Every structure is written in C-alpha cells, then in structure tokens.
Amino acid sequence: MKIVVINGPNLNLLGTREPGIYGDQTFEEYYESLISDFPQVTFDYFQSNIEGALIDCIQKEGFSCDGILLNAAAYTHTSVGIGDAIKAIDAPVIEIHISNTFSREDFRHKSYISPVAKGIIVGFGLESYRLGVEAFLKS
C-alpha cells in the first residue's frame, strides 16, 4: 500500500509554531516514526506553503497511490481548488488536523475538504496522521 502525506502552509514550522496548539515535535521527526511503525506501507511526503503546488501534488499522486492523508492547514477553510482537485482524482483522501478545529475560531469550522473526503481525523495531535494510516489499512 502506498500512502502519500500532504501538508499545507506553515506545517513546515511544526516544532516551533504555536507549540501550545501544535506540540513541540517537528513533522520530520514524527514522519520518521510513522515510517518505522508501518513497514508494510510505502510513504511519500510533500509539504508546500503554496496552494497551486498542493493541487499539483494531489493531481500527480491521486491516480497512482492507495490513499492521501491531507492536512491542507489554513487552505482547508478557503480552497475551492483543493476541494475540486480531490473530486477529480481516484485515490481516497482522509482530511487530517492536528488541533481540534471545531474548538477553535469559527472560521476554522468551515472545510472545503470534508464534503469530498473519505473521512476526517481531527484533534489528536500528530497522532491524527497515525490514525489516518490505520484507517487506510483497515478499510
């Protein structure tokens, strides 16, 4: 099984960015632990702060992998284009959030990803990604 992890804007700053909300681990550290905990999975990882680059990645990977874990970060709440890209591909997408977006500001309650995602995992810290891998493995 091949799973592609796609992270959106500012998630490259995990570890130092608002640690009270997002924790103090870098994504690279966490990603290494995911790779070693699921040896049966082939992972690929892409991060960008640019909306179009995220759409390019979704289009590129979305016809050849078995699933995408997408944390579109702030673009979750604004991007019709990312929602449309998910509709255009074959691979199922699980929407991931580190924080519980529903316990935060109102503008974070809107998602253009949720209606077109296979499922949503929200609020479990970085472990949201691990739960996403397990969901793909079990479905």
* Whole-Å CA distances, 24 to 113, 116, 126: 26, 31, 10
Query: Which of 10, 25, 49, 114 touches ligand DQA (CB under 6 A)?
Result: 10
Segment lying near ligand DQA (by CB under 6 A), choices 42-50, 56-64, 96-104, 109-117: 96-104
- How far apart, in whole angstroms, are the C-alpha atoms of residue 109 and residue 76? 10
Q: Indicate whether 111 belongs to the interface with ligand DQA (CB under 6 A).
A: no
User: Smallest gap, in angstroms, from Cβ of residue 64 to ligand DQA?
Assistant: 25
User: Is 45 considered catalytic here?
Assistant: no
Q: Indicate whether 108 belongs to the interface with ligand DQA (CB under 6 A).
A: yes
Helix (H) or strand (E) holding 7: strand 2-7
- How far apart, in whole angstroms, are the C-alpha atoms of residue 110 and residue 134? 25
Please state the separation of Cα 30 from the chain's center in Å.
13
Q: Indicate whether 97 belongs to the interface with ligand DQA (CB under 6 A).
A: yes
User: Is 97 considered catalytic here?
Assistant: yes
User: Smallest gap, in angstroms, from Cβ of residue 39 to ligand DQA?
Assistant: 26
Residue tagged 């929407």 (tokens): 95
Burial call 71-98: b when 16+ CB within 10 Å, e when fewer = bbbebbbebeebbebbeebebbbbbbbb
Q: Indicate whether 26 belongs to the interface with ligand DQA (CB under 6 A).
A: no
User: Smallest gap, in angstroms, from Cβ of residue 27 to ligand DQA?
Assistant: 10
Catalytic site positions? 22, 97
Give me the residues that bind ligand DQA (CB under 6 A), please: 10, 71, 73-74, 76, 97-99, 101, 108
